[in-house]
């Protein structure tokens, strides 16, 4: 009997058992096995992987090598797919929100600041212009019919945001759409992002001026304050992400434009991903709390509390890791 035949005869029962276990699971996870079978699967997988190494080193039979290779790949995928799903993905998610996202915000805060300044400048200009002349609001994007509704003393914001789950989901979707729009416009050399910031800022400034001028006082601000700190912060972060993309084209620095786009693009994507759950929180507040008939002090308290919590998180989370990294580099 040749050595290769002896090798096959000695090991084939283990390989056949591994095939049986893999067939019994199909596309399901190893949670479908009993504890003893899980241990057996791991033991036979390791032995088969060692057999594959031996076959590659000593055997010239390509069919045997191909058979063992396929068997090991199938077992590896099944074992580690379950491990990644249950453990690694959770760990990566936690690491992203406790370290990567806030650290990215701190590294790129200048781009976010530019987005904020653009938004605020146009909001202030539109507020002043619309306060002096209501028709100026049309230049800021306010529909004339909308202006007439304000003059008719209709609390339009309460009609739009009825406190129910359907509207809350719609609000979240709209907020996420505005955020992605500000980000995507960064591909137009950042000019599109600046336009998005300017347009949204002017629109909000003009609407605030019209409602204040019509005698609503601070009703609209009271409605907005609970959710707007998180919501507007996410829009500024999305604007910063868009400017990161634009800057890679215009100001790549010492890197090539391709390298700058890859590096800053990853930073921008982190900002966008981090904003999505924040916008879900903002949309929930806007759909359920903002239109509710409650004391304005409560709504202002919610706005202040969420603002403090958000920026404490963005400014402080993951700082210990950064300190350790700097100490290691030194």
**Cα gap 316→294, rounded to integer Å:** 33
Mean pLDDT for 143-153 is 73
Mean pLDDT for 60-66 is 76
**245 Cβ neighbours under 8 A, 6+ residues apart:** 183, 186, 187, 190, 193, 261, 264, 265, 268
Contact 205, 127 (CB under 8 A): yes
Label residue 158 by pLDDT band (50, 70, 90): low
Mean pLDDT for 95-112 is 93
**184 Cβ neighbours under 8 A, 6+ residues apart:** 192, 242
Mean pLDDT for 99-107 is 93
Mean pLDDT for 105-109 is 94
Q: Find, among 25, 40, 12, the residue nearest to 74 by Cα.
A: 25
Number of residues assigned to the chain:
330
Mean pLDDT for 100-128 is 95
- pLDDT tops 60 at residue 116: yes
Cα–Cα distances (Å) from 229 to 8, 147, 281, 322, 328, in that order, read 68, 25, 11, 27, 37
**Cα gap 270→241, rounded to integer Å:** 9
Instruction: Give the lowest-confidence range in 21-30, 56-65, 195-204, 213-222.
Output: 21-30
pLDDT score recorded for residue 75:
81
- pLDDT tops 50 at residue 143: yes
Bigger pLDDT: 224 vs 155: 224
pLDDT score recorded for residue 128:
96
pLDDT, one tens digit per residue, over 69-87 is 888 888 877 766 655 454 5
**Cα gap 53→325, rounded to integer Å:** 39
Label residue 2 by pLDDT band (50, 70, 90): low
Query: Exposed, middle or buried: residue 142 (CB in 10 Å: 0-12, 13-18, 19+)?
Result: buried
């Amino acid at each position: 009997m040749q050595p290769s035949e002896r090798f096959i005869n000695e090991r084939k029962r283990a390989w056949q058992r591994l095939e049986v276990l893999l067939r019994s699971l199909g596309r399901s996870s190893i949670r479908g096995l009993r504890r003893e079978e899980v241990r057996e699967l791991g033991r036979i997988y390791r032995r088969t992987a060692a057999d594959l190494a031996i076959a590659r080193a000593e055997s010239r039979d390509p069919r045997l090598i191909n058979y063992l290779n396929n068997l090991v790949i199938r077992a590896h995928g099944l074992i580690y797919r379950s491990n990644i799903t249950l453990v690694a993905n959770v760990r990566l998610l936690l690491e992203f929100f406790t370290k990567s996202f806030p650290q990215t915000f701190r590294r790129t805060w200048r781009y976010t600041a530019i987005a904020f300044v653009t938004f605020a400048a146009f909001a202030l200009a539109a507020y002043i212009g619309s306060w002096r002349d209501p028709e100026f609001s049309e230049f800021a994007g306010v529909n004339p019919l909308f202006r007439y509704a304000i003059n008719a003393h209709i609390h339009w914001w309460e009609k739009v945001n009825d406190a129910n789950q359907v509207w809350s989901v719609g609000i979240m979707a709209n907020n996420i759409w505005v955020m992605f729009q500000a980000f995507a416009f960064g591909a137009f050399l950042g000019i599109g992002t600046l336009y998005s910031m300017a347009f949204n800022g002017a629109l909000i400034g003009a609407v605030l001026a019209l409602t204040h001028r019509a005698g609503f006082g601070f009703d609209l601000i009271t409605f907005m304050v609970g959710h707007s700190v998180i919501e507007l912060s996410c829009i500024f972060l999305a604007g910063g992400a868009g400017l990161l993309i634009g800057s890679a084209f215009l100001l790549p620095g010492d890197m090539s434009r391709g390298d700058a786009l890859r590096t800053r693009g990853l930073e921008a994507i982190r900002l966008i991903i981090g904003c999505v759950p924040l916008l879900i929180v903002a949309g929930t507040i806007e759909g359920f709390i903002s239109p509710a008939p409650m004391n304005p002090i409560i709504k202002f308290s919610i706005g202040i509390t969420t603002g403090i919590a958000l920026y404490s998180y963005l400014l402080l989370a993951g700082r210990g890791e950064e300190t350790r990294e700097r100490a290691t580099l030194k």
